[in-house]
């Protein structure tokens, strides 16, 4: 096994990341709320119950048949050698990379479980048969995904207590339309990330430093289909996709992209170890996500614009200063944190105001996961 040169152990910021040495640390990390950490959501269930998918009925029914067919029902099983292989490979990782990988597992677990809780709560609170059925299938998939990641944490006695997390983590309320924009994007970006990693490790199996990556291809097809579901819901309710809602769509695209960019650049070693430069990886993921999103969003943000690119770099710098200021503590630390927040908001606003590309939506909504 070979890795790209690691400089992370010399990076003062790496030492400020909360280390995961025990199950309690893993639990605390999953519970911890920051601007860029995955969140849990609640929504207006009565409004969810009113969703009508009649305008896309044919495509909807075809999608439900795919969920029913459940082609991944036997996928999330570990083979006999999984745990031994994982332990042996992770033992060889440089300590900083090991921490980044654990951070990645805990973050991914939190996101998967967040979907699981939200879909399950919607399922419980609605009577609309289309939405109820969809939520049942998506909760089924997310619960498999979360369980599969948690098994990998348990190999190192770092399993997260999901019941406790569900009871104690803070929930953010989003109106249904914001759930649709945000969740559509996070499902599609999840697909784009997993498939890009999978393809890279297919080309460079020597860089696959944990067996879990072998599961990513069929896994990301679940995420892709979840995204398709939200695309159909939004296309069936076109008022969500015009007028002032276009400003909300632009806001969510930028927020989701910027969050991913900052998070990935906070742990660049993991992507480097897979032979992926984090900046290049993120722009590949943006391109794939934007291409897919042509099925539903009439606007696309220009991720190649020099102001966008400079903005992303600035947000990483500001986030690093924020981390240092938080570690500094005291009144001076608080003031520095406030200043960082002001600067981040200004950069975000500048990028938000860039011109966007407009596009006509295709008559046929669904696309195939061919990346």
Q: Which residues of the shown chain bind Fe ion in the complex (CB under 5 A)?
A: 112, 115, 142, 145, 187, 223, 226
- Closer of 94 and 147 to Fe ion (Cβ): 147
Nearest to 245 by CA among 168, 322, 175: 175
Q: How far is the CB of 145 from Fe ion (least distance, A)?
A: 4
- Closer of 71 and 88 to Fe ion (Cβ): 71
Q: How far is the CB of 293 from Fe ion (least distance, A)?
A: 16
Q: How far is the CB of 192 from Fe ion (least distance, A)?
A: 13
Q: How far is the CB of 70 from Fe ion (least distance, A)?
A: 14
Q: Yes or no: say if 78 and 251 are a contact pair by the CB < 8 Å rule.
A: no
Burial class (CB in 10 A: 0-12, 13-18, 19+), 96: buried
- Closer of 230 and 281 to Fe ion (Cβ): 230
Bridge partners, 57 (sequence order): none
- Closer of 76 and 348 to Fe ion (Cβ): 76
Residue at token pair 């990998």: 152
Burial class (CB in 10 A: 0-12, 13-18, 19+), 330: exposed
Q: How far is the CB of 172 from Fe ion (least distance, A)?
A: 18
Q: Yes or no: say if 49 and 176 are a contact pair by the CB < 8 Å rule.
A: no
| Gyration radius of the chain over CA positions | 20
- Closer of 207 and 226 to Fe ion (Cβ): 226
Query: What percent of the chain is helix, strand and coil (3-state, nearest 5)?
Result: 70, 5, 25
Q: At what angle do helices 176-203 and 278-293 cross, to 10 degrees?
A: 130
Written as six digits, the tokens of 231 are 């695309």
Q: How far is the CB of 338 from Fe ion (least distance, A)?
A: 36
- Closer of 103 and 112 to Fe ion (Cβ): 112
- Closer of 229 and 323 to Fe ion (Cβ): 229
Q: How far is the CB of 154 from Fe ion (least distance, A)?
A: 18
Q: Which string of DSSP letters, residue by residue, matches 316-348? A: HHHHHHHHHHHHH-HHHHHHHHHHHHHHHHHHH
């Amino acid at each position: 096994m070979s890795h790209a040169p690691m400089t992370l152990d010399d990076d003062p910021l790496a030492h400020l990341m909360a280390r995961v040495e025990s199950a309690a640390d893993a639990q605390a990390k999953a519970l911890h709320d920051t601007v860029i950490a995955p969140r849990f959501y609640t929504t207006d269930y009565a409004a969810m119950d009113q969703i009508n998918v009649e305008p896309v009925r044919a495509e909807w029914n075809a999608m439900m048949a795919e969920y029913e067919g459940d082609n991944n029902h036997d996928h999330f099983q570990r083979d006999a050698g999984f745990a031994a292989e994982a332990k042996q490979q992770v033992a060889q990782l440089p300590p900083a990379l090991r921490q980044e990988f654990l951070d990645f597992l805990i973050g991914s677990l939190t996101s998967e479980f967040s979907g699981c809780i939200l879909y399950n709560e919607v399922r419980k609170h609605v009577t609309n048969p289309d939405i109820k059925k969809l939520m049942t299938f998506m909760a089924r998939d997310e619960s498999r995904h979360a369980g599969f990641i948690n098994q990998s944490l348990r190999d190192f006695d770092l399993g997260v207590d999901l019941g406790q997390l569900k009871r104690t983590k803070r929930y953010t309320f989003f109106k249904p339309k914001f759930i649709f924009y945000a969740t559509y994007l996070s499902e599609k970006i999840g697909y784009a990330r997993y498939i890009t990693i999978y393809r890279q490790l297919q080309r460079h199996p020597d860089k696959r430093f944990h067996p879990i990556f072998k599961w990513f291809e069929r896994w990301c097809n679940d995420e892709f289909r979840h995204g398709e579901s939200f695309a159909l819901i939004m296309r069936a309710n076109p008022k969500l996709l015009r007028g002032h809602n276009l400003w909300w769509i632009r806001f969510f695209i930028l927020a989701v992209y910027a969050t991913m960019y900052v998070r990935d650049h906070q742990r660049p070693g993991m992507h480097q170890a897979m032979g992926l430069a984090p900046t290049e990886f993120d722009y590949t993921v943006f391109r794939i996500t934007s291409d897919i999103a042509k099925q539903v969003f009439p606007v696309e943000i220009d991720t190649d614009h020099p102001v966008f690119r400079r903005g992303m770099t600035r947000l990483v710098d500001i986030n690093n200063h924020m981390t240092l200021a938080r570690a500094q503590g005291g009144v001076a630390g608080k003031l520095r944190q406030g200043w960082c927040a002001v600067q981040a908001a200004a950069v975000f606003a500048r990028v938000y105001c860039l011109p966007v590309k407009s596009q006509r939506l295709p008559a046929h909504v669904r696309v195939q996961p061919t990346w």
